[in-house]
Amino acid sequence: MAEKEKPATFEQALEELEQLVERLEGGDLPLEDALADFERGVKLTRECQQKLASAEQKVKVLMEEGGEVREQPFDIDDPAGPAVGDRGDDA
């Protein structure tokens, strides 16, 4: 039986996926190799999506307060307040 190809971490899967994309974009692969790379890329994409969903679930559990999940946006331009060093009153 063939050994299962599964990167240990999200970062490794993402790096391999980026390498596959570069190879496919090069256009120099025989059809069989391109199809194998595409199939591997789809598998890696699914693995990354599962790892991200799992991480999101863990964050939600950690953010749980009083039995309710309190979701907060993860945005650099968070409307909740100015960025560090940007007080907005320099005139």
Residue 51 confidence (pLDDT) above 80:
yes
pTM of the model: 0.61
Residue 59 confidence (pLDDT) above 70:
yes
> What's phi and psi for 18, nearest 5 deg?
-60, -40
Instruction: Quickly tell me which residue has 């069989």 as its tokens.
Output: 32
What would the two tokens of residue 29 be?
């692969």
Please give the pLDDT value at position 83. 44
Does 72 or 17 have the greater pLDDT score? 17
Angle at which helices 10-26 and 31-62 cross, to 10°: 150
- Tell me, rounded to whole angstroms, the distance of Cα 32 from its chain centroid: 28
Residue 10 confidence (pLDDT) above 80:
yes
Looking at residue 82, the DSSP 8-state letter turns out to be: P
Q: Which domains does the chain have, with CATH numbers?
A: 10-64 (1.10.287.1040)
User: Rounded distance, CA 4 to CA 32, Å?
Assistant: 20
